[in-house]
Every structure is written in C-alpha cells, then in structure tokens.
Structure 1
Amino acid sequence: MDDLRDATEPVDETELAIEGALRPTSLAEFVGQPKVRGQLQLLLDAARIQQRPPDHILLAGPPGLGKTTLAMIVAHESGRPLRLSSGPAIQHAGDLAALLSSLTPGEVLFIDEVHRMARTAEEMLYLAMEDFRIDIMVGKGAGATSIPLDLAPFTLVGATTRSGLLPNPLRDRFGFTAHLEYYDPEDLERVISRSAGMLGVDLPPESFAEIARRSRGTPRIANRLLRRVRDYLIVHGGEKGAADAAVGAALELYDVDAIGLDRLDRAVLDAIVHRFRGGPVGLSTLAVTVGEEAETIESVVEPYLVRIGFMGRTPRGRIATPAAYEHLGMRHPDHAQALRLDDL
C-alpha cells in the first residue's frame, strides 16, 4: 500500500537523501521538544566547559519524532565524529567488541533500537559505558581466560521506541534519558514551513495547517506528506488554483483523510465495527481480517487510534469507541439502544 507513515517498508535512497537534507543541524534549528532541547543544551554546554565527552544519552519515544536527528546534533555540537549502528545489527558480543574497539577518543556512537541488541552484547555494554573497558573471553571451558581491553572514552546515544524492554542495568548507565512527545499542530506547522522553504514548495499558509492536522503529531510524516504535495504541484502546478487544492487533492489520492487516517487505519476500524459489531476482537483475528501482520497492527496502527480515542484495549480484545463510529458516519450501538429506550 502507499503508506506515508513510519512503517516497516524500505524507503528508497532518494527519499532518505531528502530526509537527511531536511534534518536540522543544531539545537537552535530543531523545532519542538523545548524541554528536551533545554536539557540537552545544558548537558552539552557542561561537557564543553569541562572538556570531556558528554554523558551517555538515551532518547525514548515513538518513531519519527527526531531521535536520530538529535543524535546527529549531539555529535555536531560536541565537535565529535558520529558512528551509526542499530540494535538488530548487534547480535553477538563480538559485533559490539569490534564496534567499540574501533571508536576514536570522544566519538559519539548512536545505536538505534538499542532495546533489540542481543543479551550478551548488552552485558558487555554495561562495563564499556561505565569504565570504558570490555573483557574479551579467549578459549573455551576450563581453559578460557578473560583479557581486558581499554576503550577510548566515547558517548553512547541510544534510541528506543520501547524503553520498557531495556534491562534496568543498561537503562541506569545512561546519564540522561530524554522522553520525546508527539508534536502539537503549531510546532508541526513550523516544521512544514521550514521544509517547504528548503524544498522550494510554494503553498498558502493555511496549507501548512492542513498538512499538520494530517501528520499524526509526527514530523517525519509531516515531511513525507509535504513531499507528496510537492509531487502534485510538479505535475499539476500549471493548472488554475493548483496550489490551493494541492493538499486536499494529493492526500486524497494517497488515502490520507482529514485527521491523518489512511487506508489501513480505516480498514481496521471498519473490521471492528462491521465484522465484529464494535468488538472486542483479538489482535491476531483482527490482523487476519485486514490482511496485515499482527505486529504491524500493534506497532503502526493501534498507537494512533488509541491516542485519538478511536480504539480501546480491553482484556478481551480491541473495541471501537463512539468517536470511531462518528468518524465513520455511523451511530454507536449503545447510543442507538439508548434512543430506543427513550421512545418507550
């Protein structure tokens, strides 16, 4: 499907290059997250004054809110090189040992989805973060020996969308944990306005607000929707009133409605309402009904539907709320029953 959210589908190199170009390079340019920006600024300023690497940083929050961008900013404002890796790529202690031993003094190591590292690698990371040292086991069985290896001082920036999966010993070794929140529409408008200027997209100011309303509180989605609007203008820019109609026409083409729901969101709600009479319905059953993986429903669709009050989670399964019925243009069964009782 044409999914404009942060999903599991690969993004082509052109899209990645554009996303990289739109990233701010300093905390002053970074829009939104004022509390986190202030905390990071203090941490970086203190490290600069003391001429030491900044403390290890954990960035926690939903996808698309700027965790990778903040890691890049930490390295840029510290004047240090940045090394990028990810939790799924570190599946053995040897993988981590090779990565850590190659770091230069003061280098910033960014590990995305740090909660998905192998347990043996996590245990090696404890000592590395605390004492800048790792122990390498040589040999097997009774003859095995441990060889200590000193590491260059470094700053680890870990990013996670599920901080609850991090073991406490690892979480406690981060000097600072930043919790990123969804963006409000005003901050998203600023993000979109900045990106539009960089992409050369000329839109009326009300169009920025319209894109912000459909962006699910997420800057990455806002920028992707803006690029689809830009595509529409490239194709239809010569037509009368194209700029005024670009947002509505482009996002209607990509099945993104007025509050950011797309085809899969509506398919999930429609299944609960029509096939299961509002629920409750189990996650696996719901996934089979709409033809998607259960993990996709749980990690991509469900968080937003719950956040806007369209879906509820109960011990027996997922349910559709009265707000979901209203959005689909239907009357909630409880409300209909109440009206019938009033007629008696």
Structure 2
Amino acid sequence: MHEREAVSPEADVDERRLEGALRPRSLEDFVGQERVREQLSLVLHSAQRRNRAPDHILMSGGPGLGKTTLAMIIAAELGVPLRITSGPAIERSGDLAAVLSTLQEGEVLFLDEIHRMARPAEEMLYVAMEDFRVDVVVGKGPGATAIPLDIAPFTLVGATTRAGMLPAPLRDRFGFTAHMDFYDADELERILYRSAGLLGAPLDPEAAREIAGRSRGTPRIANRLLRRVRDYAEVRGDGDLTLHNARAALDLYEVDALGLDRLDRAILDVLMRRFRGGPVGLSTLAVSVGEEAETVEEVAEPFLVRSGFLARTPRGRVATPQAWEHMGLTPPPDAAFGAGRVEDAADTGAA
C-alpha cells in the first residue's frame, strides 16, 4: 500500500468489501453521530407507525464518515430492500428512469455522490421525489411525446461530500438533512474495539488510543490503520496489537502522531522552507510537491485546514504557527500567518 492510501478517506472496491464485514447493522450498534442517530430514529419510527415511506433523506459530510452504512441501516430498520447506485452512474435521464421504474413499494434507493448526477436526470428526479412519477420521452424532435409513468412510493437516501454543489430545488425536496461530523478519539476507540473483535484480534487500550489519534477523525481510516497494525503484528511482531506494534506499524506507513502523512508533511515543508510560510498559490504549491493541484486541494488540504496547520486566504495558502511548531521549524520574522506577499501573483489559487 502506498503511504497516501493509509490515510485517504476514499475506498476502492476491494476495501469496500472488507468494510462490509465491519459495518454495524442497526442504529443501536452505530457508534458516533449521536444527534443524527436520534433524529433519524424519530423519522423512521414515525413513518413506521403511520405505515408510510419516510421522507427523503440527505446525508452530507466527508468520505468515510458512515453515510453508506447509515443508508444500509435505514433499509434494515424499515425491513425493506436497498437499491444502491451513484451520481456518476446516472449519465442520462433514461438511466434514472430505468432504476426508478423497477423499485418496489417502500424500497430505499441510495444515491451516492448525488451532486455528480447529470442535469437531465436531476430534473427528472424532482418529479419522482415529489409526485412518484417519471415522464418518459418517446421519439425525437417535434414529434416527441412525454408519457407519464407512475412509480412505487420509495425513499431516496442521497449522500454527498459537497452539499454546496446541490441545486436548491433538489435540496428542498429532502424532508430530513443530516450532516455527518468528524469523530472524536473516544468514538474512534469504540469503533476500533468493535472492529478488532470482529477481526478476532484483541486490541490493547493504549494501542487503540494511538490508532484513534492518528485516524483523522474518520472511521474508515481508523479501521484501515487497524488492519495495517494487525498485519505488522502478525508478520514482524509478536502477533499482539500492542502500543509498540501500533507505533511501529504506523511509523512504517509514515502516519505521524497527529495523522499527517508524507504528502501532508511535504506540503507544509515546501510551504515553510521554500516559500517562507506563504502566501503561495495552489498550482505553485502542487508543482513543488510533485502532485496534481486537485489532489492537494481535495485530498490533503481539507485535513490540514481542519487541523489548523494551513490557512486559505484570498492571496494564497499560508502556514499557521501550529504548523511551524509541529514541523519543528522557526518562522521567519516576516512570516505572513494569514496576510502578506504572494509568491506567484498570477497564481493565487485561493478559491
């Protein structure tokens, strides 16, 4: 595994299969997101008492926080089938019509990355969510005819990592919106104990605390690091998930005590040593660490900003005093800390 993958919140197909064995099956077993769980419980139980499908549900938040797991739990709590698809898979309105027309009454449709759905399909979804109907267009040009097709009442569970990209008419059609927050260390420890039990690998409390502290507040990363520690303990250690083996494994994968990996530290190091703390434009910063600008902006930067190591200003990226301290460097007297000169006037990249 590349060191970047160790703390990436995204998951590939193989990892999603592994995650399936560790997913909680009910709201009671789901750790964290207490407010969301309580609100969701009321929505589901109220719908069951009225013998009706619940309102459509939108879940927003970063990857790896449990949106897919909650969608599966919603279907399980309701005792109905779950259909899973994603925004990028819905390229045309006909693709969406094909999915919706085969839904059973009360079925839950989970639409991941809903913000990436094609616009024609999005407009069809408005009517489907509100009136449980889709208009199928037959023919082309002036002779085209729209045939209304009734669909079974269903519950849409949409998930997005970028709620701001959803158009207002779509957001307004969701009866309940849940925002998924990052997890604190205690919640991650509880998740780790549960996962370790399912993996048949007893976890020492000190090791659990160490892994949780390096997991960037994300259960997916915590479970991934737990598997890496288990692998290290089995191959190079004594087989026990101890603090010593946890630290040795995480150091091997270049995940430091606060969860920063090689790319995170490279960004901070370049920003401080080469650009004296900034401000510096995104593209310049990305070229300096040998990565695409999109990778820096969407993969590394959110955690660095959330952790207080990086500031995004109108004039570019700036290293914070906390970043200088963490990297063991002394800021120059003219360090910007949020304002100052721009290294590349044509490339502020602060958007």
TM-score scaled by structure 2?
0.92
* Partner of residue 120, structure 1: 120
Task: Report if the CA contact (8 A) 1:59-1:158 is conserved.
Answer: yes
Q: Write the deviation string for residues 159-200 of structure 1: whole angstroms up to 9, x where unpaired.
A: 000000000000000010001111111111111111111111
Structure 1 segment 14-163 matched on structure 2, within 5 A: 15-163=15-163
- State the alpha-carbon separation in 2 of the partners of residues 75 and 235 from structure 1: 40
Q: Write the deviation string for residues 237-291 of structure 1: whole angstroms up to 9, x where unpaired.
A: 438x873411100000000000000001011111111121111111111111111
Q: Which amino acid aligns with 1:105?
A: E
* Partner of residue 344, structure 2: none
- State the alpha-carbon separation in 1 of the partners of residues 187 and 214 from structure 2: 13
How many residue pairs align between the two structures? 334
> How has the CA–CA distance of structure 1 residues 237 and 200 changed in structure 2, closer, same or farther, with 3 Å as cutoff?
farther
* Partner of residue 263, structure 2: 264
Offset, 1:204: 1.6
Offset, 1:91: 1.3
The structure that is helix-richer by fraction is 1
Task: Report if the CA contact (8 A) 1:203-1:244 is conserved.
Answer: no
Other structure's SS at 1:333 match: coil
Matched, 1:306 2:308: no
> How has the CA–CA distance of structure 1 residues 244 and 185 changed in structure 2, closer, same or farther, with 3 Å as cutoff?
closer
* Partner of residue 11, structure 1: 12
- State the alpha-carbon separation in 1 of the partners of residues 190 and 242 from structure 2: 19
Offset, 1:54: 1.2
Matched, 1:290 2:292: no
Offset, 1:236: 2.7
* Partner of residue 323, structure 2: 324
- State the alpha-carbon separation in 2 of the partners of residues 291 and 271 from structure 1: 11
Other structure's SS at 1:104 match: coil
- State the alpha-carbon separation in 1 of the partners of residues 112 and 20 from structure 2: 16
> How has the CA–CA distance of structure 1 residues 12 and 279 changed in structure 2, closer, same or farther, with 3 Å as cutoff?
same
Task: Report if the CA contact (8 A) 1:236-1:242 is conserved.
Answer: no
- State the alpha-carbon separation in 1 of the partners of residues 116 and 289 from structure 2: 28
- State the alpha-carbon separation in 2 of the partners of residues 77 and 293 from structure 1: 42
Task: Report if the CA contact (8 A) 2:276-2:335 is conserved.
Answer: no
- State the alpha-carbon separation in 2 of the partners of residues 286 and 235 from structure 1: 38
Other structure's SS at 1:38 match: helix
- State the alpha-carbon separation in 2 of the partners of residues 308 and 233 from structure 1: 30
Q: Write the deviation string for residues 101-127 of structure 1: whole angstroms up to 9, x where unpaired.
A: 111111110011100001111000000
% same residue: 66
* Partner of residue 197, structure 2: 197
- State the alpha-carbon separation in 2 of the partners of residues 40 and 203 from structure 1: 31
> How has the CA–CA distance of structure 1 residues 125 and 81 changed in structure 2, closer, same or farther, with 3 Å as cutoff?
same
Gaps of 5+ in 1: 338-344
Offset, 1:336: 8.8
Q: Which amino acid aligns with 1:202?
A: P
- State the alpha-carbon separation in 2 of the partners of residues 335 and 218 from structure 1: 36
- State the alpha-carbon separation in 2 of the partners of residues 121 and 5 from structure 1: 34
**Aligned Cα root-mean-square deviation (Å):** 1.6
Task: Report if the CA contact (8 A) 2:7-2:259 is conserved.
Answer: no
Other structure's SS at 1:334 match: coil
Task: Report if the CA contact (8 A) 1:25-1:76 is conserved.
Answer: yes
Gaps of 5+ in 2: 337-351
Task: Report if the CA contact (8 A) 1:237-1:243 is conserved.
Answer: no
